[in-house]
């Protein structure tokens, strides 16, 4: 990214602090819009690059720099969402949003263990759960931008209209359509403590290779979706039905008897991480409805789960 110092003076730009304070907000926005932390970080870098390529006079003419940065980042994300659809059609197998660990566990890989990774800037709430992000993937880019900017970040439809190139009234309809998709996919809320108990029971039954216990924890219509990205082996289509899901889990445990299963927070909710020799090989997110597991998203693509190994090493320090 372009340096923040003022050309020819070697002194820090006095506006740097105010500009950089927007970084967390921009990461939060871009991750929700794109479902990828790596892409979100690239978007934020590009946004700042566009700011610092301007002359000081151009910067001073912008009354609200934070609003300008948000608008630019949203534009970049909107453009990327269009090209992402084409890329994901060529993706090997199912595409799952990049899973986020608990913010407290992130490190940037530096020997001093400092926490500079962008994940610690992502606010974990209901709009960051894997179930929510998966529904977002079914939306058009315009619907996704309208919903996130208006409902999550409280921008007006007039502001949204400038991003997606529609009228404010059309953007209101886009957000309404997106909300209907969310409501149609939502299951009755299960308290977090109960979710954790159910996921823990699943872990124990998985480790014991107890098919009957697994079936008892799964909704009859439960599904598993795996994402290997063509880089590691993974089922290419969803596995459906409690018995099929249970047998798949037991088969995985049999193929990797040295696998260690750990309880972890995944996108703000109880999840599981599987490791071999201290290296994360699977990150699993769960959707629990009532007392049963309805969906499991198992991310195996090593490019998406590389930071989780750093999380584990940090925990062992």
Of 33-42, 110-119, 208-217, 252-261, the least confident: 110-119
For residue 307, the model assigns a pLDDT of 78
pLDDT of residue 108: 34
Task: Say how far apart CA 226 and CA 213 lie, in whole Å.
Answer: 22
The arithmetic mean of pLDDT across residues 147-176, rounded, is 96
pLDDT reported for residue 258: 87
Q: Please work out, in degrees rounded to the nearest 5, the angle formed at the alpha carbon of residue 118 by the alpha carbons of 271 and 98.
A: 40
Domain boundaries, the chain: 1-90, 192-316
pLDDT at residue 116, as a whole number: 42
Most confident of 101-110, 112-121, 206-215: 206-215
- 3-class SS at 4? coil
pTM above 0.75, yes or no: yes
The pLDDT tens digits of the residues spanning 30-82 come to 999 999 988 999 999 999 999 999 999 999 999 999 999 999 999 999 999 98
CATH architecture label of 192-316: Roll (3.10)
Mean pLDDT of 283-292: 95
Residue 123 is predicted with a pLDDT of 57
Per-residue pLDDT at 310 exceeds 60? no
Residue 117 has pLDDT above 90, yes or no: no
Rounded Cα gap, residues 239 and 245, in angstroms: 6
Distance from C-alpha of 123 to C-alpha of 268, rounded to nearest angstrom: 9
* 223 vs 19 pLDDT, higher one: 223
SS (H, E, C) 229-291: CCCCCCCCCCEECHHHHHHHHHHHHHHCCCCEEEEEEECCEEEEEEEECCEEEEEEEEEEECC
Quick one: DSSP state of residue 55?
Answer: -
Confidence of residue 309 (pLDDT cuts 50, 70, 90): confident
């Amino acid at each position: 990214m372009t340096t923040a110092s003022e050309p020819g003076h070697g002194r820090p730009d006095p506006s740097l602090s105010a500009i950089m304070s927007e970084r967390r907000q921009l990461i939060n926005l871009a991750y929700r819009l794109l479902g990828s932390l790596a892409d979100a970080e690239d978007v934020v870098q590009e946004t700042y690059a566009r700011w610092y390529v301007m002359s000081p006079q151009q910067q001073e003419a912008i009354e609200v720099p934070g609003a300008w940065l948000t608008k630019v980042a949203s534009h970049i994300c909107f453009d990327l969402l269009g090209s992402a659809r084409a890329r994901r059609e060529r993706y090997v197998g199912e595409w799952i949003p990049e899973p986020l660990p608990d913010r407290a566990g992130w490190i940037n890989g530096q020997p001093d263990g400092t926490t500079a990774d962008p994940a610690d800037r992502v606010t974990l709430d209901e709009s960051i759960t894997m179930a929510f992000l998966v529904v977002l993937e079914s939306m058009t880019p315009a619907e996704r931008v309208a919903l996130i900017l208006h409902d999550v970040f409280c921008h007006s439809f007039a502001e949204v209209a400038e991003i997606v190139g529609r009228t404010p009234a059309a953007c209101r309809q886009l957000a309404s359509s997106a909300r209907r998709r969310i409501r149609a996919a939502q299951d009755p809320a299960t308290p977090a403590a109960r979710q954790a108990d159910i996921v823990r029971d699943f872990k124990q039954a998985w480790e014991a290779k107890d098919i009957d216990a697994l079936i008892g924890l799964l909704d009859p219509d439960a599904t598993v979706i795996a994402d290997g990205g063509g880089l590691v082996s993974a089922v290419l289509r969803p596995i459906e039905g409690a018995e099929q899901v249970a047998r798949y889990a037991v088969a995985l445990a049999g193929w990797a008897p040295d696998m260690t299963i750990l309880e972890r927070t995944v996108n703000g909710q109880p999840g599981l991480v599987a490791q071999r020799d201290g290296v994360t090989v699977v990150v699993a997110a769960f959707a629990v409805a009532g007392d049963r597991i309805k969906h499991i998203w198992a991310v195996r693509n090593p490019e998406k789960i590389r930071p989780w190994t750093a999380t584990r090493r940090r925990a062992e320090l």
